[in-house]
């Protein structure tokens, strides 16, 4: 990588090239799974973190598809999940009988995907699958798995390629680990989930 890492970042986890390659593989798999007789896919992307992933992934999907967005918040501005998921933007497209693919940047505690899955189920889609770029299984609080996963990562806070820390770093073309704050013993990790 030519550019030096911003001071706040510890190390690059996935380069832009590695992400590109993995997104292309995910696209190929999704195309196989939704192969002809092609029904129209309805892609619902979770704001704001999935925007880069969405933009790159749908360009790998030569299928008829519609795109909508859903807003959900559980994090506030820090690195620890607040627990409850609030819907900040509802889905506008009709989902009844549709093949819905829900896309998020990262599956962490699972609370967001679980809450959104329930919300979408209320609209009676024909099918619902989930696709996340990153999976952090160590933090899971609800037993949920995504149908498509880009990379599985350890329990550490990551930014870049759409993922933010206090709304920063979304524009980085790579995914990096955030450096621990001064005085902290190790990398930033999220607190253990309450029982
Ligand atoms: P849950 O815990 O509901 O989390 O599965 C999903 C949402 O939490 C955010 N999240 C992160 N954002 N770096 C980030 O920038 C991370 O390491 C991280 N872990 C969780 C993200 O918005 C995701 O949609």
pLDDT for 192 beyond 90: no
Residues marked as catalytic = 108
Whether 170 maps to a domain, the answer reads: no
Give the pTM.
Answer: 0.90
Pocket mutation for ligand 1, best pick of 163, 167, 171, 188 (most atoms within 8 Å of C-beta): 163
Using alpha carbons, list the distances in angstroms from residue 142 to 30, 95, 111, 133.
Answer: 25, 24, 6, 18
pLDDT for 159 beyond 50: yes
Expressed as residue numbers, the domain containing 136 is 16-75+85-155
E-assigned strand segments in 35-112? 41-47, 65-73, 86-89, 99-107
Q: What confidence tens digit (pLDDT) does each residue in 23-43 have?
A: 999 999 999 999 877 679 999
Cα of 24 vs centre of ligand 1, distance in Å, is 22
Whether 137 maps to a domain, the answer reads: yes
Whether 140 maps to a domain, the answer reads: yes
Q: Which residue has the higher pLDDT, 86 or 133?
A: 133
């Amino acid at each position: 990588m030519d550019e030096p890492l911003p001071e706040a970042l510890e190390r690059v986890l996935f380069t832009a090239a590695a992400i590109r390659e993995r997104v292309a593989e995910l696209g190929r798999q999704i195309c196989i799974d939704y192969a002809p007789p092609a029904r129209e896919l309805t892609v619902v992307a979770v704001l704001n973190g999935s925007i880069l992933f969405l933009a790159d992934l749908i360009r790998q999907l030569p299928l008829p598809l519609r795109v909508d967005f859903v807003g959900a918040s559980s994090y506030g501005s820090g690195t620890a999940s607040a627990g409850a998921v609030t819907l900040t933007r509802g889905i506008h497209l009709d989902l009844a009988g549709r093949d819905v693919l829900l896309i998020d940047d990262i599956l962490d505690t699972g609370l967001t995907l679980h809450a959104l899955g329930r919300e979408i189920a209320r609209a009676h889609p024909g099918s619902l699958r989930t696709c996340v770029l990153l999976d952090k299984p160590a933090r899971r609080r609800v037993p949920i798995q995504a149908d498509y996963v880009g990379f599985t990562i350890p329990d550490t806070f990551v930014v870049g390629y759409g993922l933010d820390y206090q709304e920063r770093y979304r524009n980085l073309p790579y995914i990096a680990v955030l450096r621990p704050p001064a005085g902290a013993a190790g990398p930033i990790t999220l607190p253990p989930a309450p029982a």
